[in-house]
Chains A and B, each alone.
Chain A
Amino acid sequence: MDVGRHPNIEIFANSEVVGVEGEAPDFKVKVRRKSTFVDWDKCTGCGECPTVCPVHIKDEFQLDLSKREAIYRRYPQAVPNKFLIDKRGSPPCRYSCPAGVNAQGYIALISQGKYKEALELERRDNPFPAVCGRVCTHPCESDCKRKDVDEPLAIAQLKRFISDSEQELSAPSPELNKEKVAVVGAGPAGLSAAYFLAKRGYCPTVFEATDHPGGLLYWAIPRFRLPEIALQRDLDYIKSWGVEIKTGTALGKDLSIKDLQQDYKAIFLGLGAAKEKTMGIEGEDLQGVSLCVEFLNKAVHDPETPVGKRVAVVGGGNSAIDAVRTVLRLGAEEAFVVYRRSRQEMPANEEEIVEAEKEGIKIHYLTNPTKIFGEDGKIKGMECIKMKLGEPDSSGRRKPIPIEGSEFTINLDMVIMAIGQAADVSFLTKEEKFELTRWGTFAVDPDTLQTNIPGIFAGGDAVTGPATVIEAIAAGKEAAESIDRFIRGVDLKADRKKKEDRVKDEDIEIPEELQTEKRTTMPLLDLEKAKKSFEEVAQGFSEEQAKKESDRCLSCAGCSECLECVKVCEPNAIVHDMVDEFVDLDVGSIIVTTGVDYLDPKEASEYGYKRFKNIYTSFEIERIMSEDGPSAGELPLGKQLKEPLRFAFIQCVGSRNMRHDINYCSRICCMNTIKDSLVLKEHYPDANIVVFYIDIRAFGKGFEEFYNRSLEKGVKYIKGKPSKVIEDGSGNLVIHYENEQGHSGQMIFDAVCLSSALIPSRGCRELAGVLGVDIDDDGFYKNMEPATAPLESTKKGVLVCGCATGPKDITDSIAEASGAAVKAACFLEGHELPVEKKEIEQVDVSGPPRVGVFVCHCGPNISKVVDVKGVVEYAKTLPDVVFAEDYTFACSETAQHQIQERIAEHKLNRVVVAACTPKTHEMSFQDSLTAVGLNPYLFDIANIRNQCSWVHQKEPEKATEKAKELVRMSVARVRKLGPLFMKELSVNRDVAVIGAGITGLRCGIDLLQRGFKVKIIEKKELSGGLVRHLSSIYPSFRKGRNIVEKLLDEFTSAGGELLTSTELVDVTGYVGNFQVKVKSAKGETEFTVGAIVLATGSELYDPGERFGYGKYPNVITNMELEQKLISGEIDDIKSVAFFQCVGSRGDDGNPGCSRYCCQAAIKEAIHLREKGIDVAILNRGVRVYSKGAERMYRKARELGVLFLPYDGEPEITGADKAEAVTIPSPDIDADITIPVNLVVLSVGMVPAADSGHLSELFKVPRGPDKFFLERHSKFGPVETTVEGVFLCGCCQFPQDIGDSISQASAVASKVAALLSRDKITLAPITSTVIEEYCRGCGRCAEVCEFRAIELVEKENGVFVAQVNEALCKGCGTCVAACPTGAIDLKHFRSEQIEAQLEALFEG
């Protein structure tokens, strides 16, 4: 595809049109370029990034049948050949984490065994992995999507695993050279702030009142839950960033805010919430009543701390559980928890509660102390009351309400109050005027955490009241961002990175084949041992367990932002924080080609798609049968076949089906199935293939023959629609169906393909809204009129084509696309881009060769296998090589510039690039040569990637050897190359159109509108061809004559010249310069044109004497019926029978389908039926496919038109005229006789009688069906093999009006492109004849498919071959055919190839 290289085309991939304003030709368009997260200016498409991506998600290119990485390109040859990253939002785990820790990322890395990288990633957002892996409340797990499948991932435990696996502390020890910042409080908030500041280069000092950093982590969390060694690891890591911690330094005592303000640029206060709450009930002052943190402070550090025998802990948080478990370990006989709400509301971690319960601790729910009583100042017991739950309170939890009269007492000798802490920072207000909240916490800006005093920030429990570790870490991180901004003098709020949106639930992939697998359980310390010791209870995952657990991750967000791709991307192209961009465009016209989607066959649930194995859609079969598909071109049956493959196709799944509200034929499925059946036959020659169908609609050029080929190969066709597909329990698929005769049956298959309907593409309605155009009844873009204006939307300047207006095949889409282009161009008059031509001084190449060799690494693509440096050194030893060097990417812009510099610097006059295939980059290297004045043909590529590093991956030494040989050969060849120069021919800008039917007229009008002079040559007296004689056209029912007159009027008023009753006499010349000689009553004239359009149409089949034609006056052709419909001579008719396929799809007339006749017959039948006439259409399958035709077909049936299938020839009986028609009816196993008083033969289209003559005249070949042959059936449907001669309409093959009109415009587009330049350049690689060797045998002329060679007579009567360079394509066929070696091909001369070969064998 050269679209990616075209200088006039700017591609906006991964983009959407979001706004259109104005009218043609002045549209203002807004395009959103969605972020790709890869800088495409830098991406070289080397393919290294996906090799390290740990995420594997559904590959939509392979229709979700296989997986791809989160960084990907759709397929290897994609244009643009760039990678992009699939990001779907913030994964639920990350989104729910207050600190935004990238859990999906580190889990993905764990699954790859990259523990170090995982820890590194964790520490980007959280310096406390060892701590959080043990004590975090892990909101991430609560929102983990895996819980919808089975259970959430053990995310915190995986975090702990990566922390535990750290062998040696990675100590960055950076140089901190920015400003000093004071942090007060060495709890998680303060230390996090210090850590994130140090990471930004600031010098943080942390002042801690106690003698140890860590805050409550150190002082209040028991060691059996958080061993000191684990905490120490995180503290050491933070310190390794250069964070200075000064313990024993209390604010308000040892230092003041003023002191800090003097010495530090900013201050962060992470003071925690040290004040413990009490309940305020009677007896809290008794001996034996302790406060939780106070108790833990002692107990955590002193295993001899005395406790009671029977101990109650009041509260439901983690501290309460910590306290009660500690009490148990310190020797209490009985320890329990009293909690006022139920288990569901309990804030403590679930696993902590479970572990406590295992240890024998009871939890009394819905119980609240009312007083504590004692004796002699010592506790004896506690009175409690039972509670019930009321309405939710401000915390969202249901409020506990005491049940009156339910009081009871418990005997105790110790109570620990664990009902929470509060911050108390009031002591600071003595010194500074801090604004506080009514809870005594700092009042801070919620976004920036700045207090009312500029430069002083606060976070953690001192702001929020008691909260979790991870919330404190989040606050520290946020404060660091604010402090950085404060110091830099940047607005604290502006453009602050917002929290990314959570990935939408519907975007989270839960693979259909996913097996449920419970969360990995954490191994615990032996229970008896645990109860007695302070050893850590949770033992941590083994590597195997961690790996298994990480594999359960669903990769909710696509990309996990693990940043591994960043590390391997040599050109530094990856930009993880890229944002969408908006571009405004000035546009004259708009073409909409948004294509189609497929109906999900799950909607036709009776066919078992996705319920049973081996049921595919036809589109899936495309991928499956592809060698680069998900199963490398084989059906993934998952079972051993004992007998030949049994395969069924079910047609019309959704199409032509009112149940799915699809009132049209999807147009391509029949042909697609026939193709797939042939592909399957190639793979499984013995396969039994059955196609269940309603009608086989093989209506295009060569389609009927293709259908016949499948019949010859043994594909069976059963007319009838299956009712259901079921699985028989042993993996066989049973199709229940009813055939044409009404007999029901069952057939067993190994696999089934569903031909699902083509439906309007997703988003088509929204885009139509943006564009302001209408949608039709089927949901496709509406065109002005399907037959005569198929490409115009309902808005001026907006064109619609291809499948955007309804399903169609590639041929028709391509023709429409070109047609739309010429119409779009009409709105751009005066905006042609200037052709830039720079005069560059040419390098003198007459001297001895000076070769430069440039060897490419292609990233790792070549260099991973081939010793690139070795190749460079070798190249330097080759004859005439004066310079050699290597590049990471020789194709990159930078390298190309360097090559240009080297050419000048070393006076190079020959260049060899050793890189990839010339198909990819030859032209860009040649452009580089041209840019510095070196002839682009003094250049050669040695393909050392595809031919060396790719194919010999496992033999690097041999690959290197071969690379050297290829370079040696290229050098040998390039030494023999000479400069070649483009030839330019001047162009005549006039056009001749042959044929004045609607196709020729349409083409002429489009060309006139584009500013070309057009002559239409018509041999007949009247223009308008067959359409002029139609009573009406479908589906609009407009009169044929009116359509012709309108076109004729447009053509003449636009200045077109119509030469009727004019014969073509002769045509000579070549593209840009054809001489056309015509003859009319006025005599012969000759004129020159640049291009010729054949729009000569077809003729109708003459039935001769078949079907009683000519014998019975009431047997007429459909064209004769049209005349009757115009003149109205049908009043006495009561019953009409149409015979379809007369002269089509058989050995007489057109071997293919004539395409127009079914739809024409239905249109005629509706006319007749509406006059009360009985109509039967005798058909061989009803082929209605064009826009609106299926609805027309339905209408005909509703009106009572009979459609009777027939095979063979219907019999007509009658004396003087046809009175009855008899056909064998397969339905009832008997003959049907219909009384008729009119028989209409729907005659096929056949090539015009003079098409053979025209073929000779224009040297345009004809196909086996004798219609003119297009250059390529799909990709060149309106071009011929003769440059400058084009085709459209029925001279190529039968078309209906809409298709002919589209083709006419398509030709206009091609002609306009050809003639828009003043000169045509001819590629210089052509054949040349060495006349003295030529003996005039003419073999070269025979083999030349471009008819570029002819024999000319020399003076002495000798004939020699002569090459017309304007026609020669440089294919070289003639060189091979010449027996005397008299023909040589420039640039591939014998001596050049020989030099190459000699170099090969020299080695």
Chain B
Amino acid sequence: MPKGALVIGGGVAGVQSALDLANAGFKVFLVERGPCLGGRTSQIHKIFTSMDCTG
């Protein structure tokens, strides 16, 4: 496997870090303890102040 960056935690922050690195052309290993990405944000109903849904 090529050398890459390791991101630990697949919540919004982890996903954002991974995307930025991947978009800059690097290999990213994104390790998440739970079964899927999204972390706490995926459980939030609406976000302040835009009241957008998180889905």
How far apart are the CA atoms of A821 and B25 in the complex, in Å? 12
How far apart are the CA atoms of A939 and B30 in the complex, in Å? 33
Contacting pair A17 B31 (CB below 8 A) = yes
Would A1274 and B52 be within 8 Å (CB), given that A6-B19, A74-B34 are in contact? Answer: yes
Name B residues whose Cβ lies closer than 8 Å to a Cβ of A: 1-52, 55
Shortest CB distance A37–B (Å): 11
Contacting pair B36 A74 (CB below 8 A) = yes
Q: Is chain B's interface secondary structure helix, strand, loop, or mixed overall?
A: mixed
Contacting pair B8 A17 (CB below 8 A) = yes
Interface bits A80-115 vs B (CB < 8 Å: 1, else 0): 111010000000000000000000000000000000
What is the chain B residue whose CB lies nearest that of A1311?
Answer: B24
**Chain A residues, Cβ within 8 Å of B2:** 586, 831, 833
* A235 contacts B by Cβ under 8 Å: no
Contacting pair A825 B11 (CB below 8 A) = no
How far apart are the CA atoms of A631 and B55 in the complex, in Å? 18
Interface bits A858-896 vs B (CB < 8 Å: 1, else 0): 000000000000000000000000000000000000000
Contacting pair A587 B13 (CB below 8 A) = no
Q: Which 3 A-B pairs have the closest CB atoms?
A: A802-B13, A821-B20, A8-B22
Within A12-28, the residues touching B (CB, 8 Å) are 12-17, 27
Contacting pair A833 B27 (CB below 8 A) = yes
How far apart are the CA atoms of A810 and B47 in the complex, in Å? 9
Contacting pair B13 A817 (CB below 8 A) = yes
Within A1125-1170, the residues touching B (CB, 8 Å) are none
Contacting pair B23 A814 (CB below 8 A) = no
Between B9, B16, B38, the greatest number of chain A beta carbons within 10 A of the residue's beta carbon is seen for B16
| Contact among A590, A626, A820, A1313 with B24 in the assembled complex (CB-CB below 8 Å) | A1313
Contacting pair B5 A587 (CB below 8 A) = yes
**Chain A residues, Cβ within 8 Å of B8:** 17, 590-594, 767
Contacting pair A587 B29 (CB below 8 A) = yes
What is the chain A residue whose CB lies nearest that of B52?
Answer: A1274
Contacting pair B25 A1310 (CB below 8 A) = no
Contacting pair A8 B33 (CB below 8 A) = no
* A1388 contacts B by Cβ under 8 Å: no
**Chain B residues, Cβ within 8 Å of A674:** 48
Shortest CB distance A855–B (Å): 28
**Chain A residues, Cβ within 8 Å of B12:** 802, 810, 813-814, 817
Would A625 and B45 be within 8 Å (CB), given that A3-B37, A8-B27, A585-B1 are in contact? Answer: yes
**Chain A residues, Cβ within 8 Å of B6:** 17, 27, 29, 585, 587, 589-591
**Chain B residues, Cβ within 8 Å of A586:** 1-4
How far apart are the CA atoms of A8 and B19 in the complex, in Å? 9
* A828 contacts B by Cβ under 8 Å: yes
How far apart are the CA atoms of A767 and B39 in the complex, in Å? 17
Interface bits A39-77 vs B (CB < 8 Å: 1, else 0): 000000000000000000000010100000000011101
**Chain A residues, Cβ within 8 Å of B48:** 671-672, 674-675, 703, 706, 809
**Chain A residues, Cβ within 8 Å of B35:** 13-14, 36, 73-74, 78, 82, 84
* A763 contacts B by Cβ under 8 Å: yes
What is the chain B residue whose CB lies nearest that of A78?
Answer: B36
Contacting pair A588 B18 (CB below 8 A) = no
* A9 contacts B by Cβ under 8 Å: yes
How far apart are the CA atoms of A1317 and B6 in the complex, in Å? 22
| Contact among A11, A75, A1317 with B10 in the assembled complex (CB-CB below 8 Å) | A11
| Contact among A8, A31, A623, A810 with B26 in the assembled complex (CB-CB below 8 Å) | A8
How far apart are the CA atoms of A1310 and B16 in the complex, in Å? 11
| Contact among A78, A592, A675 with B38 in the assembled complex (CB-CB below 8 Å) | A78
**Chain B residues, Cβ within 8 Å of A706:** 48-49
Contacting pair B43 A1309 (CB below 8 A) = no
Between A4, A63, A73, A594, the greatest number of chain B beta carbons within 10 A of the residue's beta carbon is seen for A594
How far apart are the CA atoms of A622 and B5 in the complex, in Å? 33
How far apart are the CA atoms of A817 and B41 in the complex, in Å? 14
Apart from the given pairs A1-B37, A588-B4, 12 other A-B contacts in the complex at a CB distance below 8 Å: A3-B19, A8-B4, A8-B22, A8-B28, A9-B19, A10-B27, A10-B28, A703-B49, A706-B49, A810-B41, A817-B12, A825-B26
Shortest CB distance B30–A (Å): 5
Contacting pair A595 B1 (CB below 8 A) = no
Would A8 and B20 be within 8 Å (CB), given that A591-B6, A679-B45 are in contact? Answer: no
How far apart are the CA atoms of A592 and B32 in the complex, in Å? 11
| Contact among B13, B19, B24, B32 with A13 in the assembled complex (CB-CB below 8 Å) | B32
Contacting pair B29 A595 (CB below 8 A) = no
* A1273 contacts B by Cβ under 8 Å: yes
* A464 contacts B by Cβ under 8 Å: no
Contacting pair A587 B4 (CB below 8 A) = yes
Question: Could you show 22 A-B contacts with beta carbons less than 8 Å apart?
Answer: A2-B19, A3-B30, A6-B19, A8-B23, A8-B28, A13-B37, A14-B34, A74-B35, A79-B37, A585-B1, A587-B3, A591-B5, A596-B40, A623-B45, A674-B48, A703-B49, A802-B11, A809-B48, A817-B16, A831-B3, A1309-B20, A1313-B24
How far apart are the CA atoms of A592 and B10 in the complex, in Å? 10
How far apart are the CA atoms of A626 and B41 in the complex, in Å? 13
Interface bits A826-842 vs B (CB < 8 Å: 1, else 0): 01100111010000000
Contacting pair B44 A622 (CB below 8 A) = yes
How far apart are the CA atoms of A1309 and B8 in the complex, in Å? 18
How far apart are the CA atoms of A589 and B5 in the complex, in Å? 5
How far apart are the CA atoms of A825 and B20 in the complex, in Å? 9
Contacting pair A595 B37 (CB below 8 A) = no
* A629 contacts B by Cβ under 8 Å: yes
What is the chain A residue whose CB lies nearest that of B18?
Answer: A9
Contacting pair B50 A588 (CB below 8 A) = no
Contacting pair A13 B34 (CB below 8 A) = yes
How far apart are the CA atoms of A1317 and B26 in the complex, in Å? 12
* A1316 contacts B by Cβ under 8 Å: yes
Between A591, A763, A818, A827, the greatest number of chain B beta carbons within 10 A of the residue's beta carbon is seen for A591
**Chain B residues, Cβ within 8 Å of A804:** 9, 13
**Chain B residues, Cβ within 8 Å of A629:** 45
Shortest CB distance A1265–B (Å): 13
* A1312 contacts B by Cβ under 8 Å: yes
* A822 contacts B by Cβ under 8 Å: yes
Shortest CB distance B4–A (Å): 6
What is the chain A residue whose CB lies nearest that of B25?
Answer: A832
* A702 contacts B by Cβ under 8 Å: yes
Between A12, A706, A1310, the greatest number of chain B beta carbons within 10 A of the residue's beta carbon is seen for A12
| Contact among A12, A820, A827 with B30 in the assembled complex (CB-CB below 8 Å) | A12
* A816 contacts B by Cβ under 8 Å: yes
How far apart are the CA atoms of A767 and B15 in the complex, in Å? 19
**Chain B residues, Cβ within 8 Å of A74:** 34-36, 38, 42
What is the chain A residue whose CB lies nearest that of B4?
Answer: A587
How far apart are the CA atoms of A674 and B45 in the complex, in Å? 14
Interface bits A600-643 vs B (CB < 8 Å: 1, else 0): 00000000000000000001011101100100000000000000
How far apart are the CA atoms of A671 and B12 in the complex, in Å? 19
**Chain A residues, Cβ within 8 Å of B4:** 8, 10, 585-588, 828, 831
How far apart are the CA atoms of A709 and B2 in the complex, in Å? 51
**Chain A residues, Cβ within 8 Å of B9:** 592-595, 802, 804
How far apart are the CA atoms of A621 and B46 in the complex, in Å? 11
**Chain A residues, Cβ within 8 Å of B25:** 8, 832-833, 835, 1316-1317
| Contact among A596, A672, A1273 with B50 in the assembled complex (CB-CB below 8 Å) | A1273
How far apart are the CA atoms of A813 and B40 in the complex, in Å? 12
Contacting pair B45 A595 (CB below 8 A) = no
Within A571-599, the residues touching B (CB, 8 Å) are 585-596
How far apart are the CA atoms of A435 and B17 in the complex, in Å? 67
* A417 contacts B by Cβ under 8 Å: no
How far apart are the CA atoms of A671 and B13 in the complex, in Å? 19
Contacting pair A593 B11 (CB below 8 A) = yes
Shortest CB distance B9–A (Å): 4
How far apart are the CA atoms of A705 and B42 in the complex, in Å? 26
Between B3, B7, B19, B41, the greatest number of chain A beta carbons within 10 A of the residue's beta carbon is seen for B7
Shortest CB distance A815–B (Å): 9
How far apart are the CA atoms of A592 and B50 in the complex, in Å? 27
Contacting pair B11 A619 (CB below 8 A) = no
Contacting pair A817 B20 (CB below 8 A) = yes
